[in-house]
Chains A and B, each alone.
Chain A
Amino acid sequence: MTDQAQMPADAAAMTDTVWVQKVSWSARVPRWVSMTVLMALFLATWHLVSISGLVSPLILPTLSDTVSDLGFVGRNLLSGGYMLSAFWVTTKEVLVGFAIAVTIGVTLGILVGETTFGERAVMPYIVAIDTMPKIAFAPLFVSWLGFGIGSKVALAAFISVFPIVVGTAAGLHAADANGRMLFQSIRASRLQTLIMLKIPSGLPQFFTGLKIASISVVGGAVAGELLGGGQGFGELIRAAASQLDTPRVFSLIIYLSLLGVLMFGLVTWMQHKFVFWDRSSTTKPVQS
């Protein structure tokens, strides 16, 4: 209490040197506000440009046309129309393609990351093939597998397998020297070291690869449809574009992006669940 008794005298002798730290106004605005403002600016610019008559509606549809078409496509999807069945075809291609990519990618990744033969002999070929423009293989897949779902699945898997291989192999090298030495000192077998040390250490890298794959697998399936026909959403886009129905193309692309968001979200959720000890990497954006 004596401290407080002395306080007034001290306070009188000492003037506060309070000053305001400069913080840029954009840092003080909540994130959702900035995002909404940016979106509103974008839509307003789109609207103004499209009604100004400077750009042909064939190139840039008006905002209102696009919105009403979004509603039309949405109703068709919800009522189980032909667009829904096209959506299912694409979804099936994506899911099957992803499953194949994961199976082959993990197998090759373990071969490359765990064996000297894989690292020395197999990895250079994987890198070489990865540098090729993989979409160029689409016509080959069509001639091998026909115009059905098979050629799209193959292209989707082919495009998305590489990030999984690289992520798995990099993950298996992620365990640090101390952890390896510890496992060596307790006489762990190679299989035990793989299962109890290398695989858990490598899960963050594995999931980074898986996230990249989950996005590119949708691109692969749609590219396959654009180049090889079929019954999917890509075919609807191609048909709409050939009829110069630009609002339709726009709204189809927007619905298609839902598939990518869904796949990405699924992988992120799995990462959150399985790599519970490494929260930092689940929120980081993916760099490919």
Chain B
Amino acid sequence: MAPEPGQLSSLSNPLATVDQLSTSSSQLDGVPADLESSLRFAGAQLTQAAGILLRLPQEIIAQAIVIFQRFYIGSEGGSFRINALKDVSAASLYMTAKISFLPQSTRSILNVYAYLLSPTSPLRQSPEGSTGKERPDAESYYLSEGSYHSARATLLQTESILLRSISFITQVILPHHIALTYLQTLGVLPPSPTAESSALATRTLAHLNTALFSPQLLYLTHQPPALAVSAIYLAAREIGVKLPSTEWWEVFDVDRETLGFLVVGLGSCGGWIQSERENWSATTCPLTLDELEREIKRRVVENG
């Protein structure tokens, strides 16, 4: 018997509602919208960096980033002023790894976050400011027994808060595999790859990874097949690979309008990331509650 249609299953994720996209708990708490976007970006970047240090596959990292984004959305969601982004990032990664095939201990998660938040962290160095002399040393990020225990309590409590806020919907279907399948279906990914076909696949996946940082929260607003189709479209155009001249995306149930929107969204991601990096080159984007309060205060003073 066929499975029932419309299920939350192999191709679909829960999506943010209009309400959730129009107001957020953080904004209601007085976080300016542009700062909120920066914080979301910083959270994704922090999660990505931690995942890489933990040698987790991109699949788990990407899922954790999406979970992180689900938390801070809507008026009933989490607020950056209440739940520090560093804690929510750590809890997202910890929880996502836990249900995967590569669970991580609280100890290794917390050590990595301690390092990434320390002054020697690569995330704390502005590109110009880094002298390259300060090499991260184990001492600076190894947690003492006491700080480990309190950090662990925070991690586990944040995990519960996170789960409660996303109503335990931990499933995140990623578009990556779907994109590769579509490339095969389109006949542009032959069994023995050519230079062009590998470039196309690489570029497609790169767009999908970049989209995780999108200020438009594309992973919360669009289903994986739509993201996959758009990344393929954009990558093929950039590399100059010819795709069928028909409206091939309709085969994958994506309409022209959605495709157009997403291609623009994906295309602008790189530029946005660049400008974020530049904006925060002098200072660093606030990662803790204290840093966030200082930043909000600074803005208040500045705007007088």
A and B held together in a complex: no
**Residues of B with Cβ closer than 8 Å to A?**
none
